[in-house]
Amino acid sequence: MYYYFYRLTEFADAHRTFFSFTVVLVSLVLADMVFHTWLFEPYKSLVHSLSGITPKGFPEVDIGFTPEVWQALLGVVLGTLILVISIASQSIPKLIDLYMKDLPSLLYIWTLILGGSHALMIKIYGEIELMRESSRIFNTHILLTLCCFIAFPYVFYILRYTKPTNIIERIYSNNLDRIQSLTQPHQQALMGQDKIVERYQHEIFESLNQLDDILEYVNFKELKAEIIYYISKTVREYLHVKSQFDPRFFKVSQKVRSDISFKTMVGQFADMEQNQSFYEQKCFRLLGNIYIRLLEQGEFDLASLVAGEMAKVGRVAIELEEKALVGSIIIRFNTLVRFAIKHAIRNNEPRNLYNLFFFYGNFINSLVDFQWKDQLKQAFFYLRIYGVEIFKHGSNAGAMYFIVDVIATEMKKVLERVHQENWDLEFQEALLAEILQVDNPPDFNKEDLSRGILINNGVRVLQMGLALFYLRVEQQNFVDRIIKDVLDDLDTLGEETFRKVVEMTSARLKFSGPTFWEDTDRGNLNIYYTPDQEYLEPLKAQIYAGVESRLILSAQKMFKLTESEAQLVWELSRIQTGVEMEQLLKNPVRFEETLPQLPDITPERLNDLISVRKKLHFTSDNPELTVSHTRQIAEGQHITIQARGSDRHKEPGIEALVRFNSLNMFYVAPLEAADEAKLQKLAHVTITFHPLRRRLIYRFQTTLDPHKMENGAYRVHHSDAIKIIEER
């Protein structure tokens, strides 16, 4: 029974013009008969009651004018239709097809045509008295009057009908009616017929194609926005009733395979059947194509609307627990990101990516609302991937660096939310690892970047803002993870620049307000604002403590220093402002200049200093080192001592050996015991020495303590004025 009823309705729909003609013809015949049989006498009584005069009858009624009136009325209506529809169809394709399926219009036009034909028959047969009196009254008093009365509202109906917004809404409503009808039992009983299923699929596809075609022709943004909205709303309404469909409806028919959106698809139809997602995929393909066109046309606000509607569809899919569809939406968002990246790089225009990642973030927050952890982790992974890629493109398109900040902002929002909702700490740590890699990919060398990018790194601002949040909620493990990542910049920037960057970032966090002084598509929200500014100083203290630990550990590994030796070098680097630990370890001049300012020289620290100097090779036996201080003279060095002012060529000096070189003094002993008496007579001396493996001869003047020390050596005061007197 359902099948035959379907065949009848299908035939009527396919031959709607003939069907409407038949309905009007039968209706007019029946109405004429009803009026003659039951209403004619009451009508005469009504005329009597209204006029107060008893009508003798209506045989004298002149109906000669009625055919002309009917013809004029039909001409006015048809002329209006032709004019309005022909003009409107130039900007709205398939309008004529829509009108030819509009049942009220077909019924009214056939009523005018058949009413005029009825009047013509009355006139012709009335002249030979073959037409009954009641038919004359029905045509002139009832039918003609009613059609004339309807004509003017019908013209307005057509004008409203051809209005683009109404056409778009009509296409949407008709399509929604078809979708909702698929939940009815009589429709589900027909799902065993492949041709019927194919027809239903074609109909709901055709409505979407009509909206897409209209979008190509219209120029007004309001209309384009409505089309995007209705496509999104269609799939959202479809998802709400989808569970009530017969499973056989989701078999991908040939009509679906041959649809323009799926012609290039290969091997995906089986997945669409399994996931029951062919209609959603159709909508997503349309929205993706619309997004590309809008990008190319420079209509960025409408392109953002596509992303916003995609996020709405995603939330509905999450609410309905459509896991496969949520995965498809993530893929669709990634596809939109790919399109936007290409456009942004080509035009150095980050606006679309800014808006797109905002709506991507909204979708991810929907995952948080319903605690979809696996999908959330997957989306975070994709955000990190695109953040890394955009970061790399920043060297060619500088505006892209801001988009990396936007991505980090969305990730930061989610991290704060999941912690406030007490998600598993291990899961939070996995998400934190993703945001820390946005500007620090493992396969990318930071030394290839401009130092200015690392100094003005907005991602670091956001990461430190996140660290402030974790300080407030007492999650020290997460704070340590962020600090460890921040300290990675130390190797590239150097200690001094790194400290300046930390101070600059802290100032930015401290003085950034919740709003920005300019308006954007997303309002004037300042993405760098943090309400946890009171924790800046504790965070900086931890960062600087990390700097100290990292530099000390680095020095220990690089120069094989003990912990106490490395700590001593760190203290030396803190004595002079602007002197870094690395500079002391690699610059003997800086090292020696700093030594006299070191307080509290205990014997243990003195031994550490001597050991450090040897390990750094800051002594005169280093063939690549220019000796500038007597503290650099190596132990075991042979020297020649003469009285100050004596001629070294005429008066041979005393040959001696450097026994020990400390911080404040160095100690020498004569090679010959007979020279001790001569040495004890000297106070102001000139010392000459020739380091091993060097071609240079050095000389300096100093003072000598003539009293012999307990260790059997003589104490000599240090000198900073060493000259090269000869090269061999």
Give yes or no for a contact between 525 and 405, defined as CB atoms under 8 angstroms apart: no
Q: Is residue 451 pLDDT above 50, yes or no?
A: no
Q: Which amino acid is at 333?
A: F
Show the 3-state SS of 689-725. ECCCCCCEEEEEEEEEEEEECCCCCEEEECCCCCEEE
Q: Is residue 441 pLDDT above 80, yes or no?
A: no
Alpha carbon separation from 399 to 303, 338, 391, 396, 418 (Å, rounded): 19, 17, 10, 9, 30
Q: Residue 60's pLDDT is what?
A: 56
Give yes or no for a contact between 324 and 318, defined as CB atoms under 8 angstroms apart: no
Q: Residue 443's pLDDT is what?
A: 47
Q: Find, among 358, 374, 376, 378, the residue nearest to 366 by Cα.
A: 376
Tell me the pLDDT tens digit for each residue of 269-321: 888 888 899 999 999 999 999 999 999 898 989 999 999 999 999 999 999 99
Give yes or no for a contact between 383 and 360, defined as CB atoms under 8 angstroms apart: yes
Tell me the pLDDT tens digit for each residue of 665-694: 899 999 988 888 888 888 899 999 999 888
User: In sequence order, what are the residues at sequence separation of 6 or more whose Cβ sits closer than 8 angstroms to the Cβ of residue 144?
Assistant: 66, 69, 70, 115, 119
Tell me the pLDDT tens digit for each residue of 403-423: 999 999 999 999 999 999 999
Give yes or no for a contact between 82 and 109, defined as CB atoms under 8 angstroms apart: no
Q: How far apart are the first and last CA of the chain?
A: 119
Which tokens is 561 given?
């220093």
Q: Residue 93's pLDDT is what?
A: 67
What is the DSSP code (8-state) at residue 639?
A: E
Q: Residue 61's pLDDT is what?
A: 57
Which tokens is 357 given?
């990642």
Tell me the pLDDT tens digit for each residue of 310-340: 999 999 999 999 999 999 999 999 999 999 9
Phi/psi for 181 (5° steps) reads -65, -20
- H or E stretch including 515? strand 515-520
The structure tokens 């800086």 sit at 590
Confidence tier at 3 by pLDDT (50, 70, 90):
low
d(CA 470, CA 43): 88
Q: Is residue 162 pLDDT above 80, yes or no?
A: yes
Give the pLDDT mean for 251-267: 84
Q: Find, among 358, 262, 381, the residue nearest to 305 by Cα.
A: 358
CA 609 from centroid of its chain's CA atoms: 55
Show the 3-state SS of 519-549. EECCEEECCCCCCCHHHHHHHHHHHHHHHHH
Alpha-helical (H) ranges within 348-457 are 351-369, 373-393, 400-420, 425-436, 451-455
Residue 207, classified by CB atoms within 10 Å of its CB into exposed (0-12), middle (13-18) or buried (19+), is buried
Q: Residue 649's pLDDT is what?
A: 65
CA 595 from centroid of its chain's CA atoms: 54
Q: Residue 589's pLDDT is what?
A: 79
Q: Residue 609's pLDDT is what?
A: 83
d(CA 251, CA 273): 6
Alpha carbon separation from 492 to 190, 496, 503, 574, 728 (Å, rounded): 70, 11, 17, 20, 42
DSSP 472-501: HTT-HHHHHHHHHHHTTHHHHH-HHHHHHH
Tell me the pLDDT tens digit for each residue of 102-126: 888 999 999 999 999 988 888 887 6
Report the DSSP pairing between strands 723-727 and 696-708: antiparallel
